[in-house]
Structure 1
Amino acid sequence: MNLAVLALGWLLLGGRVLPPASIVPAGTKGAAYYEQVGHALASWGQYQPAIRNFEKSLEVEPERLTARLSVARALANLGLGLPALEQVRLVLKADADNLAGNRLHGALLVQAGQLDQAERILREVVRRAPDDGLARKFLGLAYFAKKKLTPAEKELRESIRLRPLDPEPRRLLGQILLAAKRVGAAATALQSYLELRPDDLEVGLILADLYAGLGRHLDALALAVRLADQTPTNPKLMMGIGQTLLKLKRPDQAARYFTRALHLANDPEIVLPAASFVSQHEASRGRFNQAAAVLARVVKLKPQLLPPRLAQVRYYGLGGDWARAAAAARALVA
């Protein structure tokens, strides 16, 4: 019975999508089987149980280099770069020409900041395997970290050609093009990245800002609205969308998003600027009592700040709500 049959059986019995590690009885399967289970677990982000299965594979077959490399990858995904490097070096000690081992070695060295050595290793991997899109991605990253923007762009474009479904080279390419102040090309790269990763809100906001700067106002607005619909309870996102709409000279729409941020947040870094804009916006429309009510959030959160409290007294007075104006003034001098 292979892993696919076991997984299907687990689903049919009402189990979770991910079968538990205990589905593999200890000592009953070969090295390849444990490695296969490890890969299945790793594909769901279950790196620690994956490592246990890769180690079982190595117990059965200590010279199994693919299992040792898989341990290294899982350790790297857990942020354990040094133990991952130790595993890779064991692989390369056994097989110095191992392409996958050298590629991973280079990638880990980039992560560790050892850029010259990483570049040498990855250039050799690419020389030996020109169609290795993953190695080209890591080489592009090494070049980027060394501020070699032209070769970095070349390698990442090749990586995109060879691995069209990998979103990461597209994001890195966008960063490189932004660093080179090629804003239009950067927007194109980040747009293609978002097509593969539409859930990346940070990149979405960056792209909306780029569209606004390029004069593509409708694109910026459409993207901002899509991001808001995607994550309607994220106050930082609402702030970012509001700021983008301000750049597009749409203060009424911006005020709506800043107001949403106010309702969602308790963080002063969000509440203070959002309340400042919304209160001024309300006052500019002659809605003075609403402007004062907005500032109540700031007064409650940061009572030691005088400007919002003074503005609150003023707005209540302009709105004709003398009772609230007097109460706010008394609180100010208390």
Structure 2
Amino acid sequence: MRICIRAGILTTVLLIRPQAQTADSASDKDYRAGMNAMQNGDSASAAQDFRRAIAANPRNADAQNALGQLLLQQHKASEAVEHLRAVTRLKPSLAIAHLYLGQALSQNGTTDEAVSEFRITVRLAPNQAQAHEALARALVSQQKTSEALVEMSKAVELAPNQPEYHDELGSLQAQSKAYSAAEDQFRAALSLNSSYEPALLHLGVALLQDGKLADAKAALESASQLSPDDGLAHYYLGNVLEGVQNSGSALKEYKDAVKLLPDFMPLRTRLGVLAQRTGDITTAIECFRAVVAAQPNDPEAHNNLGLALLQSGKADEAIPEMETAIRYAPKDSSYRNNLGAAYLQKSDFDAAIDQYKKGLAISP
């Protein structure tokens, strides 16, 4: 799930100590210069100003926070953590400081620490929807879906007019196969913002998984029209069209999706299988070669490529792919039988019989 980085800057009291007034005044001046640079879109100058402010007074929580957020927005999470952690030390009861630190830790891949910070945020600000939302996202990363559902439900309760929250709650419910509840949340999101494409996409996917193909088709068509560059909308619409036996239109959607998501291998596999089934062997081979290149240890990828090559009369090319599939999955009898069929195409009957016997030994 995505992590939203808010652009706002924490409002804190400047820590001016009488015995260090000159240094603190210099720190404040650099901090204000950094804020002006930020407002003018000059992030490089802002970073320099914030660093000078911190050098003059490491206890300047405003400067530490501002630099931390700037680094976070620049996806420099590791460096951001250092400064945002300083804010939580200086202002341990400031909930939003823990929220920003949690976001930086999440971006840095330290999910367990992020969860701890988000729990502190929820404890300090139990009525802040964003705190519960952030905790829910981090819990999903820990595969704690049940607890994430509780937190996301609380976020929706506290901020019922946020379509994004309904969408995220619906996504969690769909993952738990509570499709009716998920559909209700996606529809609630769309009632708040009818052009919110993620909810349309997710509604379509939930309806597809719930077997409601006609409704799924309508939702996914709307999603792909609203966001024609969303490859997943085309992919799932292709799934629906396959389900209603409209292979020609499904192929078109998959081909559109591949242009947008060339590295999404489940899509390549799905397009390859459908192309093979409808006689477009060239496309099938192209897809399966891409999958094999991306997933060289996947026996099914090699088997699919081998079958497509065999269907095009290229038994000599098919055999090495099928042998590779067997090497990775020696107990799959179907791979042995497919290799036997390849030898039959070459009229190598002894080799074919040998493979069929080995297949029967695995699955009598």
One fold, TM greater than 0.5? yes
Q: Which amino acid letter does the alignment assign opposite residue 253 of structure 1?
A: E
Counterparts of residues 54-73 of structure 1 (less than 5 Å): 54-73=118-137
CA offset at residue 180 of structure 1? Answer: 0.9
Secondary structure of the corresponding residue to residue 36 of structure 1? helix
Change (3 A) 1:33 1:189: farther
Counterpart position of 2:201: 137
Matched, 1:27 2:92: no
Identity level (%): 20
Relative distance call for 1:188 and 1:40 in structure 2 (3 A) is: farther
Q: 1:127 aligns with which of 180, 185, 191?
A: 191
CA distance in 2 between partners of 1:105 and 1:239 (Å):
39
In the alignment, residue 62 of structure 1 is paired with which amino acid? P
On the 8 A contact 2:162/2:189 being kept in 1, the answer is no
Q: Which residue matches 2:214?
A: 150
Structure 2 residue 238 is the aligned partner of structure 1 residue 238: no
Counterpart of 2:361 (choices 305, 308, 313) is 305
- Separation (CA, whole Å) in 1 of partners of 2:200 and 2:300: 35
1:260 match: secondary structure: helix
Cα separation, 1, equivalents of 2:235 and 2:114: 28
In the alignment, is the contact (CA less than 8 A) between 1:110 and 1:118 conserved in 2? yes
Note if contact 1:194-1:203 (Cα within 8 Å) is conserved in structure 2.
yes
Q: CA deviation at 1:230?
A: 3.1
Cα distance change on mapping 1:32 and 1:307 into 2, 3 Å: closer
Q: CA deviation at 1:57?
A: 2.8
Q: 1:10 to 1:218 in 2, by over 3 A?
A: closer
- Please report how far the alpha carbon of residue 87 of structure 1 lies from its aligned counterpart in structure 2 after TM superposition: 1.1
Alignment pair present for 1:255 and 2:319:
yes
Q: Distance in 2 between matches of 1:10 and 1:156?
A: 32
The superposition leaves residues 173-202 of structure 1 with CA deviations (integer Å, 9 ceiling, x where unpaired) of 121111011112212222333334333333
The root-mean-square deviation of aligned C-alpha atoms, in Å, is 3.8
Output the CA distance in 2 between the equivalents of 1:9 and 1:120: 36
Which whole-Å CA distance do the structure 1 matches of 2:240 and 2:184 have between them? 21
* SS of 1:266 mapped into structure 2: coil
Shift of 1:169: 2.7
Task: Give the distance between the partners of 1:212 and 1:9, measured in 2 at CA.
Answer: 45
- What are the superposed Cα offsets for residues 68-100 of structure 1, whole Å, 9 maximum, x if unpaired? 112223333444332122112322333443433
- Kept after mapping to 1: 8 A contact 2:163/2:190: no
CA distance in 2 between partners of 1:307 and 1:139 (Å): 41
**Residue in structure 1 matching 2:102, options 33, 38, 44:** 38
| 8 Å CA contact retained: 2:309, 2:318 | yes
User: CA contact under 8 A between 1:143 and 1:152: conserved in structure 2?
Assistant: yes
State the distance in 1 between where 2:203 and 2:271 align.
Answer: 25
1:116 aligns with 2:184: no
Partner SS, residue 89 of structure 2? coil
CA–CA distance in 2 between the matches of 1:296 and 1:147?
Answer: 39
2:266 paired with 1:202: yes
Structure 2 unaligned blocks of 5 or more: 1-63
The Cα shift of 1:214 comes to: 2.8
CA contact (8 A) 2:95 2:125 kept: yes
| CA deviation vs aligned residue, 1:256-305 (integer Å, no higher than 9, x gap) | 321332444434446533553455456x158x6xx39x959986xx9x93
SS at match of 1:181: coil
Q: Distance in 2 between matches of 1:104 and 1:306?
A: 45
Deviates more, 1:202-211 or 1:260-269: 260-269
- Partner of 2:164 in structure 1? 100
Q: How far has the Cα of 1:19 moved from its partner? A: 6.3
State yes or no: 1:85 paired with 2:149: yes
Q: Match for 2:174: what amino acid?
A: V
Tell me the TM-score normalised to structure 1 length.
0.71
Aligned equivalents of 2:261, 2:178: Cα separation in 1:
29
Give, in angstroms, the shift of residue 33 of structure 1. 4.0
Q: 1:271/1:154 Cα in 2 relative to 1: closer, same or farther (>3 Å)?
A: closer
Which aligned runs of 4 or more in structure 1 are off by greater than 6 angstroms? 7-11, 19-23, 296-299
Runs of 5+ consecutive residues of structure 1 not aligned to the other structure: 12-16, 309-334
Distance 1:267 1:5, change over 3 A: farther
Equivalent residue of 1:27, what SS?
helix
1:128-162 per-position Cα deviation (integer Å, ceiling 9, x unaligned): 20111111122212322343323212222332344
